[in-house]
């Protein structure tokens, strides 16, 4: 599911990922590198099966789902890729240091993703969590709607309802 992607901060490069892996003592294998490269070439969130097809093209041989999911798992664990829950898709990260800190605007029209920094909201989340004794790990914040470009283009009467018709949107 390729889609327009409007990168917010600086994108992560393959070299930077290789460097971080080396620093962390984890293995940036050929497959993982190719998977990450493939993700970068899509401009936007990538479905697992789109990635599988991309890997097949690059490797010239069949690639099973577990192979792709394992690469994705590695990339997520290390903060190089973020899963976009409301799209069942994966997006290269911009800040491998603090993987749980991002939030996303997702355009229902063009598929654009726009990341924002959540650090200012952390305190609010933390205080609410503290009130109920909850210990927070992963944070998923995805705001769906209409991006600036699509508001100009369309009559813009859509994208505001809770359910966007078509399912998980």
Q: What is the spatial distance between Cα 69 and Cα 65, in angstroms, rounded to a whole number? A: 6
Q: Which residues is 105 bridged to in the sheet?
A: 114, 143
Of 123, 104, 98, the C-alpha closest to 20 is: 98
**In the bound complex, what is the minimum distance in angstroms from residue 22's beta carbon to DNA?**
12
Q: What is the dihedral of CA 132, 138, 143, 149, to 10 degrees?
A: 150
Query: Should residue 168 be labelled a site residue for a copy of itself when binding is judged by CB under 8 A?
Result: yes
What three-state secondary structure class fits 12? coil
**In the bound complex, what is the minimum distance in angstroms from residue 148's beta carbon to DNA?**
26
Site for a copy of itself (CB under 8 A): how many residues? 50
- Write out the binding residues for a copy of itself, residues 58-87 only, by CB under 8 A: 69, 73, 76-77, 79, 83, 85-86
Both tokens of 104, joined, read 């996303």
Query: Should residue 40 be labelled a site residue for a copy of itself when binding is judged by CB under 8 A?
Result: no
In this structure, how many other beta carbons lie within 10 angstroms of the beta carbon of residue 107? 22
- Report the residue from 33, 58, 95, 139 that binds a copy of itself according to the rule CB under 8 A: 139
* Positions in the binding site for a copy of itself (CB under 8 A): 69, 73, 76-77, 79, 83, 85-86, 99-100, 105, 107-108, 114, 116, 120-121, 124-125, 128-129, 132-148, 151, 156, 159-165, 167-169
């Amino acid at each position: 599911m390729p889609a327009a992607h409007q990168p917010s901060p600086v994108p992560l490069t393959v070299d930077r990922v290789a460097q971080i892996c080396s620093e962390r003592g984890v293995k940036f294998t050929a497959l993982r590198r190719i998977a990450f490269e493939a993700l970068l070439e899509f401009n936007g969130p990538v479905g697992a099966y789109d990635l599988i097809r991309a890997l097949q093209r690059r490797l010239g041989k069949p690639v099973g789902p577990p192979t792709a999911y394992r690469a994705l798992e590695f990339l997520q664990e290390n903060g190089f890729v973020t899963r976009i829950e409301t799209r069942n898709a994966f997006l290269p990260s911009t800040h491998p240091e603090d993987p749980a800190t991002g939030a996303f605007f997702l355009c229902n029209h063009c598929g654009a993703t726009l990341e924002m920094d959540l650090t200012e909201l952390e305190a609010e989340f933390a205080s609410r969590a503290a009130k109920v004794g909850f210990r927070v790990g992963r944070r998923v914040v995805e705001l769906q709607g209409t991006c600036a470009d699509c508001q100009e283009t369309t009559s813009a009467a859509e994208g505001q309802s809770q359910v966007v018709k078509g399912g998980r949107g």
